[in-house]
Amino acid sequence: MKFEDEPVPGYPLPILPGHTSPGRLERVLRSGAFAVTSELDPPDSADPQDVYSRARVFDGYVDAINATDGSGANCHMSSLAVCALLTRIGYAPVMQISCRDKNRIAIQGDILGGAAMGVANMLCLTGDGVQSGDHPQAKPVFDLDCMSLLGIGRTLRDDHQFQSGRKVTYAPRVFLGAAANPFGLPYEWRAQRLAKKVEAGAQFIQTQYCYDVPRLKVFLREIEDLGLLGKVFILVGVGPLRSAKAADWMRTHVPGIHIPDTVIQRMAGAQKPALEGRQVCIDLIQEIQDLKGVSGVHVMAFRQEETVAEIIQKSGVLKGRVPWYPGRDSDIQLRKEAA
């Protein structure tokens, strides 16, 4: 069975030797193909069609869709609920788990629940502080952090038990991920922090936005020196910019985002800034794809999700591969018949 094949939704793929999940994302990465993931902006709504319409813009261009968990400490439909809807029709979601809002009892329950619904990928995050979101009066939990959450997820999967030691009758079969920021100060801590996440159980990494390839290259050399290449899959975060003003606001107000002056100047000199912003993203992907240690890209196009297909198509990184989506095989057959 090829790594992109998909049975009837609800019936998982078999777990291949050396894999920990039945998911397509792990299959793509372990096959050596260049993987593409993106983020779904969760709706402020209880209508499932709002989730499906947002997912469809990625059809044929991404291997997995991140369901964010209160990103920026703002309230939206929950990650678990978005994943439940996506798996219902066969999409491959990445369930983000933030430690900000739940204790270890609730989080372990969500891991089991997500896995039971067919979620094969889980991204472990500490989470943004409540003061940065739309409910600053909320009480933060932070019972766990990213490292301890990874350890708990791995214990559930590999040891078939809760953190308490109580046995789990059927373990979650999941591919565990974490975030990294090669572009945040102090730089010298970044590779070491990634090493700790890998030791805790991270199998794939999605990074913060990359607009500084030279700095990314230094980070990749540092993790190679630590012997991490081959132990973890790195998906580099990229995204289109709307304008020079928006880019300057991001680097000033969003912690951990570094956008060099050269990128701001390029955007400022463009007659069509949004178009140039997409081209910047395409150029970055094409430069990043050949770097040793890079296994894919994570496209974060906040409120520009409709641009992801264009960016990936023009970048050429899929090399003719069409990631699975509901109805893909019948669509391909119809195009062949029409030709």
* 333 Cβ contact list (under 8 Å, min separation 6): none
Between CA 120 and CA 6 the distance in angstroms is: 14
Q: Between the CA of residue 46 and those of 72, 76, 78, 81, what are the distances in Å?
A: 20, 10, 10, 10
Map out the domains of the chain with their CATH numbers. 24-338 (3.20.20.220)
pLDDT at res. 18 = 95
pLDDT at res. 2 = 55
Q: Is the dihedral of CA 36, 22, 125, 219 positive or negative?
A: negative
Tell me the sheet residues that pair with 233.
Answer: 204
Between CA 262 and CA 244 the distance in angstroms is: 11
Q: Which residues of the chain have pLDDT under 50?
A: 1
pLDDT in tens, 179-222: 999 998 899 999 999 999 999 999 999 999 999 999 999 999 99
Of 287, 286, 295, nearest to 317 by C-alpha is 286
Tell me the CB-side half-sphere exposure of residue 307, using CA atoms within 13 A: 21
Tell me the sheet residues that pair with 297.
Answer: 36, 236
pLDDT at res. 1 = 42
Angle of CA points 145, 64, 43, to nearest 5°: 75
